Amino acid sequence: MPLHPPTGLADAALARSILACPAGAQLAVEDVDHLDLARVVLCEVAGVPMLGCPADSPLATAATLGRGAVLTLASGLPGRPGTLLVLGRLEAVRLERCACPCAEGARQVVRLDVRHVSLRTPDRPRRLVPADAFADPVHALNAGHLVRTAAHANEHHGELLRDAVAAATGVPATHVLGVELTGLTAHGVELAWVDVDGAHREGLAFPRPAADLDDLSLLLRDLLLATAR
């Protein structure tokens, strides 16, 4: 299928968001017949795919040899389907060792040096994403990071969310039957909860807009802790 001309920042924003929040991933590597991604951890750092894998894996060996690779990602963004294709060369960044007795041993951190990015959505065929737009720092806090941060809060910090709702509303925490962080932006959060009086929603604003993912995590933690006190 022919590639359409690049469409700029909007495509780059979606592409970066899919990289930060994929629902599924496939990785094809030059001269490697099969890769087990079950033991590979993928994350996005400033628009660069970073992979962690066992140091004795075929992926680690391919990275030390600078093999070419194609990373295909399905969107994990709610209501925003799409497929991202990232082509580049693997680079071995560093070897990490863990003293934990349950660890698998040394792990290799691998960088995919991005040479080509393309995007496909149900309403539009595959098109190129400009490299400069894809790497733009404006995407440091993209929709994918917001979705994953909210999901992490809901999965691992339910008690803190419940305490924050109780403190903000005066309802005893024991009366809060369920709570969920339903909205997260650079400017604040929306909480939804159910108590003995029914279902409710309330927004809480950050003291300033978050600048990046690390800043967002700090602002969210401080807001919830301050509200729960």
- Residue extents of the structural domains in the chain: 9-138, 147-228
What pLDDT score was predicted for residue 3? 52
Mean pLDDT score, 157-167: 89
Q: Which residues contact 48 (CB under 8 A, 6 or more apart)?
A: 111, 112, 113, 114
What pLDDT score was predicted for residue 23? 95
Q: Is the pLDDT reported for residue 6 higher than 70?
A: no
Q: Which residues contact 226 (CB under 8 A, 6 or more apart)?
A: none
Q: Is the pLDDT reported for residue 210 higher than 70?
A: yes
Residue with tokens 């969210």: 220
Mean pLDDT score, 38-64: 93
Share of the chain above pLDDT 70, in %: 93
Residue with tokens 């008690």: 159
Distance of CA 16 to the CA centre of its chain: 9
Confidence (pTM): 0.85
Share of the chain above pLDDT 90, in %: 69
Q: Is the pLDDT reported for residue 104 higher than 70?
A: no
Right CATH number for 9-138 from 2.30.110.10, 1.10.1270.20, 3.30.420.40, 3.30.70.20? 2.30.110.10
Beta strand segments in the chain, E: 22-29, 41-45, 48-54, 68-75, 83-96, 107-121, 124-128, 176-184, 188-195, 198-205
In the CATH hierarchy, which top-level class contains the domain 147-228?
Answer: alpha beta
CA dist 173 → 76, 177, 203 (Å)? 32, 8, 18
Question: What rounded mean pLDDT belongs to the chain?
Answer: 90
Say if CB 86 and CB 44 are below 8 A apart. no
Sheet bearing 176-184, strands edge to edge:
176-184, 188-195, 198-205
